[in-house]
Amino acid sequence: MSIPRNWRTRQQRYSLKAEVCNACGNTIFPPRDVCPHCAEQKQSWTNLSGRGEIYSFTTMYSAPAGFEEYAPYTMALVKLAEGPMITAQLTDVDTEDVKIGMPVEMVTRKLSQDGDEGQILYGYKFRPMLRQVA
Amino acid sequence: MLKPDRDVGIVGYGAYVPRYRLPASEVARVWTDGSGGLPIKEKAVAGLDEDTLSMSVEAARNALERARIDPSEIRAVWVGSESHPYAVKPTSTIVAEAIGAAPSVQAADLEFACKAGSEAIVMGMGIVGSGMGRYVLAIGMDTAQARPGDALEYTAASGGAAFLIGPAAESAAVYEASLSHVTDTPDFWRRAYAHYPSHGHRFTGEPAYFEHVTTAGRRLMAELGTVPADYNYVVLHQPNTKFPQRAAQILGFTTEQLKTGLLVPVIGNTYAGSSLIGLTAILDIAKPGDRIFMVSFGSGAGSDAFSIRVTDRITEIQNRAPQTQDYIARRKVIDYATYVRYRHKLQMK
């Protein structure tokens, strides 16, 4: 686990800090130097709603190192309301209840931890919408 | 009695309760062969990827949804808990970063057993009431620990609430005053590096909970010149169902005044979050002009009492974020084995 990389990406992990391209208007997540849509370098910071829907998903029974304690868990491609598609773990949902098209919302959760003495890594996951609010 | 120069109140509030519930009957099944009375129906249990930080972030976001303020105007983020994820590295800085309050902000983690959250509120009243800052975010949140088989295992739960303290003119509820009563009482403690707390059995009830809750409550009402009948609701720290019921009765409140904020039968004792999340359940349904009396309690020991008056703004903000009962209704019952796994009581290596 890389402490510098985790520190550098903390805002996008905690709160989906994203960019909008000033040239083509597309929302960019994760943030990067060059727009993946039009190759321009003009971007402004933006906040995402955290809402989206499940585009596809798969359940992990054999988890990679560092994630064993969470298995089985479901990974999903989430199509965000603002456009970007991101890969994230689902939480607070039973495996059999996950459906394509299910509305989900972002929550900040523990992703992993570096043994008993290292850093705890927090970041975004998605769960079924708790409720529609005004 | 503590009353700031400038009137302050609650600009936004937010609760959090995790999804999982452990019925008290499951603890009894494993440890007492199902015999004996149960102190509550069930308690809320944090999932594998939840801790005081993740739960604080969600409650804080709910408070901000209701307040609709610019988070960079928050001048302090204080998180009261006895289950901070790190022994050394603040929960509060991560919360501040996640909600957009960093970097021009005071941040610290507080510990006073179950009173750390209400202590953060009093500190917030001081900052806002003195004019040093416009908004303060005060959080009480816990993933409470309990030794397997101990009496506290029935009730030690996860959850809490966040309050955005700000000027009275922007508030949905205004603090009329607060009063604290604190002594050195050996009722409950956890030593450094110890997984589970210990308790001084005979000190738990009368010398600790009842002495502090009723003294703080009585003195605040005496200094304000109010009586229990002046309040629509009362919410007390709730380590089990009986203690707040009896303390409310001693203070002169009715079961009707107590019932809305009495969440312990269905979520357990959320420690630093206990009286605070009870207050959120009241604010969710309160009407302009209602008055609320709150008394927290923390072992070691002390109580903070508050007299609160609800303003016209309450109806605007109640539905801007999930209500406390929405979280209580989101519920998946787990058995004792799953609880042991979720609370990391299994030795994996």
ipTM comes to 0.96
Among B58, B82, B170, B211, the one annotated catalytic: B82
Contact A107 B100 (CB under 8 A): no
* Cα gap A69→A132, rounded to integer Å: 32
* Cα gap A116→A122, rounded to integer Å: 15
From chain A residues 17-46, the ones with a CB under 8 A of any chain B CB are none
pLDDT of res. B304 = 98
B156: preceding bond cis by omega (within 30 degrees): no
- DSSP line for B17-61: --SEEEEHHHHHHHHSTT-S--S-SEEEE--TT--HHHHHHHHHH
- Among B49-58, B194-203, B284-293, B308-317, the range scoring the smallest mean pLDDT is B194-203
* Cα gap A74→B41, rounded to integer Å: 31
Which of A14, A109, A131 is opposite residue B326, by nearest beta carbon? Answer: A131
pLDDT of res. A132 = 63
pLDDT of res. A133 = 53
What residue spans define the domains of chain A? 3-128
Residue pointed to by tokens 């303060």: B136
pLDDT of res. A134 = 46
With beta carbons under 8 A apart, name residues in chain B contacting A115. Answer: none
Contact B97 A14 (CB under 8 A): yes
SS3 B71: helix
Contacts 24+ apart (CB under 8 A), B228-231: B228/B252, B228/B253, B228/B254, B228/B257, B228/B293, B230/B291, B231/B257, B231/B291, B231/B292, B231/B293, B231/B307
**Quick check: is B201 catalytic?**
no
**Residue A65 touches chain B, beta carbons under 8 Å:** no
Q: How far is B245 from chain A (nearest CA, A)?
A: 31
Q: Tell me which residues of chain A have a pLDDT lower than 50.
A: 134
Phi, psi of B39 (to 5 degrees): -75, -20
**Quick check: is B181 catalytic?**
no
With beta carbons under 8 A apart, name residues in chain B contacting A11. Answer: 97
Domains and CATH numbers, chain B: 8-173+322-342 (3.40.47.10), 175-315 (3.40.47.10)
Contact B86 A120 (CB under 8 A): yes
**CB-based burial of residue B205 (10 Å sphere; 0-12 exposed, 13-18 middle, 19+ buried)?**
middle
- Closest residue of B to A112, CA-based? B49
| A37-46 pLDDT, tens digit each | 999 998 999 9
Phi, psi of B126 (to 5 degrees): -65, -45
**Quick check: is B206 catalytic?**
no
Contact B330 A130 (CB under 8 A): yes
With beta carbons under 8 A apart, name residues in chain A contacting B49. Answer: 70, 91, 109-111, 125
pLDDT of res. A94 = 95
| B267-303 pLDDT, tens digit each | 999 999 999 999 999 999 999 999 999 999 999 999 9
Residue pointed to by tokens 């620990």: B145
| B95-149 pLDDT, tens digit each | 999 999 999 999 999 999 999 999 999 999 999 999 999 999 999 999 999 999 9
Provide residues of B within 8 Å CB-CB of chain A. Answer: 19, 47-51, 53-54, 57-58, 65, 85-86, 94, 97-100, 319-322, 326-327, 330, 332, 348
- DSSP line for A30-42: S--SS-TTT----
**CB-based burial of residue B207 (10 Å sphere; 0-12 exposed, 13-18 middle, 19+ buried)?**
middle
Q: Report whether pLDDT(B307) > 70.
A: yes
Q: Where are the alpha helices (DSSP H) in B32-136?
A: 52-67, 91-99, 116-130
- Closest residue of A to B102, CA-based? A11
Mean pLDDT of B62-67: 98
* Residues 6+ away with beta carbon under 8 Å from A115: none
